[in-house]
A and B are shown apart, each in its own frame.
Chain A
Amino acid sequence: MLPCCRPADVSVCDSELGPPGWREPLDCVRASELCNQNNQCSSRYRIMRQCLSGGDKERSAMLASRECQGALEVLQDSPLYDCRCKRNMKKELQCLQNYWSIHMGLTEGEEFYETSPYEPIHFSEEFRHASIISGRRMSPCSEAGKPCNPCLDAAKACNLNETCKRLRSAYNSICSKATPPQATSANQEPCSRKRCQKALRQFFERVSWELSYPLLFCSCPDQACAERRRRTIVPSCSHQERHKPSCLELRRTCRSDALCRSRLADFHMNCQMTPHSVTSCPHDNFHGCLMSYVGLIGSDVTPNYSDSSPSNISIGLWCSCRGTGAQEAECDTFHRDFTHNTCLSESTDAKEKPAEVTADRDLLQQQIAANANRILQRCINTPSFC
């Protein structure tokens, strides 16, 4: 049974703050354990993993076979079918691999937008992010007379915190360290990309968002500040490469890795533009969009600011769609989700928007009130909880 809190502890009672009627889905590690306890399920699961083990071409042929189709049918009724993973959970990678071991078969890996294996970012997380967004949007430079550089303030706050300083220094030094020149080849790599991206992922996973997000989403009055913001993730190592691949090639690379594939699906789910909301983000949840954007940093599709313009924020991947021929339209669609995404630019945009801030806050207060009321109702009905 879920733990309940007193009405005064609204903020700590995460399990109560989800949308009404929302039940926590089973995580895929647990789901696969449950499946393995059942003879039929576990044998089909084993077959399914074999169906997906080959390369791209073999896979679709394999999946079309009677055996694989039969296995898929059985698994659709298993707990594996609608399991999800939690962000930063223990065994996250294993959970994601379990997820894709059935979901890749369902779509044959051909869908443009895939369903995110992560739990939806629900209200409690939005709530936690609200303060940073509103604080950031309201007034980046409050103290008159002092030189204003919110990105520098963010660096200071990070340096004064042991964990943030340690992990920031760790990725900065790994990402800006040149790999030792190889005796055989003259072309020295600028850095160890894989190690750099891992250190970046660790930074964003282990440092609290209160310290890490301001470094990445600081609002800038001038170019010097915006250049600092652009350099936050050491793009020369983590973002750029000597060779600029086609965006579809980049997506293919990403999809061959369970973690990258999941983060990309999560980004598409949370930052997808929609005409049905004011902010053009799904459910006006631009905090969700920011979270899934940060999730991509340190993956093969690491996005970044394209230039050091302080106000006109443009974001992109290190890839291009030139020369992709017949697939150019598909390629553009994929890349435009980063470069021309109003949901994403609204979310990262630091411009002051007082009217919107007020609207957000009003909405938030209504939601808080509604949730507090629900908890109170539950307590009244079941006093033993409170």
Chain B
Amino acid sequence: RARRQKPCTLRELELTVSELGLGYESDETVLLRYCSGKCTAHRRNYDITMEHMMRTGFKKKGRKDKVINGPCCRPTAFEKDFSFLDNNSRYHTIQNVSAKNCGCV
């Protein structure tokens, strides 16, 4: 049975700063907000055309371009700066890590 995909939304997960993969070592826990879900409801004529172009259109015109044929679920805004103390007792401030709003763009 096919799993029904949820639309693009903001989701959250508790992680330690170390688990963010940014190279910082800190056991402080942070709430990571990220965007996930389908954007099928947000397709425009552009996307239909691009899908068609990818299948046959570009080849006919002698092009090898690759385009993304649908809107993606991405952050449209990020949360404010976040500061934490690392395991060596130093403060760091990181930016643009956690999403604030999501959109199909």
A residues in contact (CB < 8 Å) with B: 149, 152, 155-156, 159-160, 165-166, 168-170, 172-173, 175-177, 224, 227-228, 231, 234
Contact = CB atoms under 8 A, between A and B. Distances in A.
B58 interface: no
B24 interface: no
A243 B82 CA distance: 31
B29 A160 contact: yes
Contact of B93 (A155, A160, A169, A231): A169
B82 A155 contact: no
Nearest to A173: B93
Contact of A166 (B27, B29, B80, B91): B80
A306 to B, nearest CB: 16
15 contacts: A152-B27, A155-B84, A155-B85, A159-B29, A160-B14, A166-B80, A168-B83, A173-B81, A173-B83, A173-B93, A176-B83, A177-B93, A224-B87, A228-B89, A231-B85
Given A165-B82, A166-B80, A173-B83, A234 B29 contact: no
Contacts of A177: 93
Given A176-B91, A231-B89, A234-B91, A169 B31 contact: no
B29 A155 contact: yes
Interface residues of B, number: 16
Chain A to chain B: the 3 pairs with minimum beta-carbon distance, closest first: A172-B83, A156-B29, A169-B83
Interface of B: 14, 27-31, 80-85, 87, 89, 91, 93
Contacts of A152: 27-29
Contacts of B82: 159, 165, 169
Contact of A155 (B14, B28, B87): B28
Given A159-B29, A173-B91, A173-B93, 16 more contacts: A152-B27, A152-B29, A155-B84, A156-B29, A159-B28, A159-B84, A160-B14, A160-B29, A165-B31, A169-B82, A172-B85, A175-B91, A176-B93, A227-B89, A231-B89, A234-B91
